[in-house]
Amino acid sequence: MSNDGRMKPVEVLNEYWGYDSFRPKQEDIVNAALDGRDVLAILPTGGGKSVCFQVPALMREGIALVITPLIALMKDQVQNLNSRGIKALCVNAGMGRREVELALNNAAYGDFKFLYLSPERLGTSLFQNYVKEMNVSFIVVDEAHCISQWGYDFRPDYLQIGKLRDIVNAPVIALTATATPQVAEDIMERLGFGDKLLIKSGFERPNLSYIVRRCDDKMGQLLNICCSVEGTGIVYVRSRKKTEELAAFLNSNGMAASFYHAGLGPDSRSERQEQWKKGKIRVMVCTNAFGMGIDKPDVRFVVHFDVPDSPEAYFQEAGRGGRDGKRSFAVLLWNETDIRRLHQIATVSFPSLEYMEDVYHKVHTFYEIPYDDGAGRQLKFDLEEFCRHFKLQRQAVYYSLVYIERTGHWTLSEDVDISTKVQMRVDRNELYDIELPDPLMARLIEVLMRRYTGLFSYPVPVDEEYVASAIGVSVPVFRQLLYRLSLEHVIRYVPNDHATVLFLHHERLRPKNLNLDPERYAFLKKSYEDRVEKMIGYISEDDICRSSYLLEYFGQTESTDCGTCDVCRSAKRKPAASEDTADLLKSFINEDRSGTYTLDDVAMHFASPEQEASHDFKAILRRLIDEGAVPPPVA
């Protein structure tokens, strides 16, 4: 407790999170924020970024605005805060106007501490009217690299944050895991930092061994990794179809594996995520839709089955391994096909400007939106159906949608949960004369009418778990009751869904009026190609420490070789082609380790994914111990 009776940051940390001390740099960031300074925090994946804004926000009066593009992460953090007794709420692209208005009203006039919102909401008149009534403690910018034109994941909606500072007088806490020096400078410039304060921790992950393996039989290598490294793992691939194929392959070989991608329904995603966290699923094969905000510390290996298209994406995804500080492996499998595919993607990712304008108009035609109309519309967008309808190539359309988003014409949200909605179709007085076949139906209507206003005017989002619990049934039974009521024409039932949503920023423009910014197009294409080349350099260089290569990319020029990546291990490995594994084991244990070692030490060197030979080192080790050639391992 400080002299003025207020809690210290570490006391807040202990009360709500149970930790006795901060991680490196966290307390510096917290203190800078409490001093009212704008601060940019660069902490690697797993570095505890959320604590850096949640602790100071709890110590100040008012509500913190947390801007993030990650809807799944937004919901997880709100749920996590609420479970700790901290009042938080969110606004995202999957919510209707009435839901949004209710949330903003609570943020302005309730006693909430955090309002999470997606960046496209900042420019709406509804938000700007309410934010003037809020006592804002901090403006928190998560994934802050999205505001930089130099970054790999620029989002035009993030440019609204600078304008927000004109009407909200509050310090900024900006956070990201991946920013080059150029990107960091651009972030602070665009967010209007008065005093450019940058706090970053070192990007070294000494417990994470980076391994790059060139191989034709990727599936065989993947199986070898899963067999030789104990513990939980993540396997990243580019396509949804490949997640399912590899999960089936691993299961057929005795691995408890499952797959995860954005095309799964919310219940399936949530269930698989929980099973993986609890260890019931050992290996999760997934696209990059998996992992954001998932705090599982004991991931022992992260395998990239396909080569990512930027060092930023790779560093962030690989960094999900070994958050508990124990030895873990980040393995990247590649062959010449990957190099060709990366060059092809660099081409496909930037369709011609004429093609993209055609896609823009086809989207409006698809939804029958005339010229000079459509501003503010939220469109549930099915990419496959759209491509079939117009006989277009999927990848070219997808990258057109993304580029048009970057030029500010719409927002593309690919991972949106659309909540269940209910509207009464009969007059209030007629309800009492309707004979319903199930008493639970009447009970359900009673709870809905008591809980929600506006049911007779428009479709109202309902909390499935709350209402189901209130009438004493499971969520599946609750949904069945809603469906049966819709068959009786008592209600209009809009089931919950998981979809891609296009949010239109303005009326449909007429031909040749679409500004796709050719100069920016050329700049982004060149930047993308440069990052691809850096990624190719990472996998093809065999004389530079993998960790040092990545650290230098992020501006950390002074670093020592890690000693554990495949390049470093190869440099230390003796040229002993004729030696067998037993000799290597004896040399390692008796000479390198002076007879003191653990099984993890041996596994790191003899069962780790960089080893091409697949010797049964455990059986050989047991024999050597029995013979007295080496001492037994320490516990």
State the residue range of the domain holding 402: 344-418+500-527
**CATH code, domain carrying 246:** 3.40.50.300
pLDDT in tens, 346-392: 888 899 999 999 999 999 999 999 999 988 888 889 999 999 999 99
Are residue 38 and residue 174 in the same domain, yes or no? yes
Computed on alpha carbons and rounded to an integer, the radius of gyration of the chain in Å comes to 27
The pLDDT of residue 614: 41
200, 216, 233 - which closes a domain: 200
- 544 found inside a domain: no
Are residue 450 and residue 410 in the same domain, yes or no? no
At position 349, the amino acid (one-letter code) is: S
CA pair distance 20, 8, nearest whole angstrom = 12
Are residue 325 and residue 432 in the same domain, yes or no? no
Q: In this predicted model, which residue has the larger pLDDT, 611 or 626?
A: 626
Q: What is the mean pLDDT of residues 8-15?
A: 92
- Quick check: 246 pLDDT over 70? yes
- Quick check: 578 pLDDT over 80? no
**CATH code, domain carrying 400:** 1.10.10.10
The pLDDT of residue 604: 67
- 469 found inside a domain: yes
The pLDDT of residue 575: 44
Are residue 189 and residue 240 in the same domain, yes or no? no
- 442 found inside a domain: yes
The pLDDT of residue 572: 67
Are residue 433 and residue 402 in the same domain, yes or no? no
At position 556, the amino acid (one-letter code) is: Q
Percentage of the chain modeled with pLDDT above 90: 44
Total structural domains within the chain: 5
The pLDDT of residue 377: 84
DSSP-assigned letter for residue 208: E
Least confident of 183-197, 280-294, 295-309, 612-626: 612-626
The pLDDT of residue 23: 85
Are residue 88 and residue 65 in the same domain, yes or no? yes
- Quick check: 418 pLDDT over 80? no
Are residue 308 and residue 326 in the same domain, yes or no? yes
pLDDT in tens, 284-321: 999 987 766 566 889 999 999 999 999 988 998 998 99
479, 495, 511 - which closes a domain: 495
- 559 found inside a domain: no
CA pair distance 91, 94, nearest whole angstrom = 8
171, 200, 229 - which closes a domain: 200
DSSP-assigned letter for residue 419: P
The pLDDT of residue 3: 47
Q: Give the 3-state DSSP-derived string for 452-511, with helices as H, strands as E and coil as C.
A: CCCCCCCCEECCHHHHHHHCCCCHHHHHHHHHHHHHCCCEEEECCEEEEEEEECCCCCCC
Q: What is the mean pLDDT of residues 489-510?
A: 86
Band (pLDDT 50/70/90 cuts) for residue 32 is very high
Average pLDDT score, the chain? 87
pLDDT in tens, 586-604: 888 887 777 788 777 777 6
Residue 613, SS3? coil
- 567 found inside a domain: no
Are residue 349 and residue 322 in the same domain, yes or no? no
Are residue 45 and residue 194 in the same domain, yes or no? yes
The pLDDT of residue 178: 83
- Quick check: 446 pLDDT over 80? yes
Q: How many helices (H) and strands (E) does the chain have?
A: 25, 19
Q: What is the mean pLDDT of residues 615-626?
A: 75
Q: What is the mean pLDDT of residues 466-482?
A: 90
pTM of the model: 0.73
- Quick check: 539 pLDDT over 50? yes
Q: Does residue 187 contact residue 179 with C-beta atoms inside 8 Å?
A: yes
The pLDDT of residue 324: 87
- Quick check: 94 pLDDT over 70? no
Are residue 236 and residue 271 in the same domain, yes or no? yes
- 539 found inside a domain: no
Are residue 148 and residue 250 in the same domain, yes or no? no
The pLDDT of residue 115: 96
The pLDDT of residue 5: 55
The pLDDT of residue 376: 82
The pLDDT of residue 95: 73
- 552 found inside a domain: no
Band (pLDDT 50/70/90 cuts) for residue 481 is very high
The pLDDT of residue 430: 81
Q: Does residue 93 contact residue 120 with C-beta atoms inside 8 Å?
A: yes
- 183 found inside a domain: yes
Q: Give the 3-state DSSP-derived string for 277-315, with helices as H, strands as E and coil as C.
A: HCCCCCEEEECCCCCCCCCCCCEEEEEECCCCCCHHHHH
Are residue 175 and residue 81 in the same domain, yes or no? yes
Percentage of the chain modeled with pLDDT above 70: 93
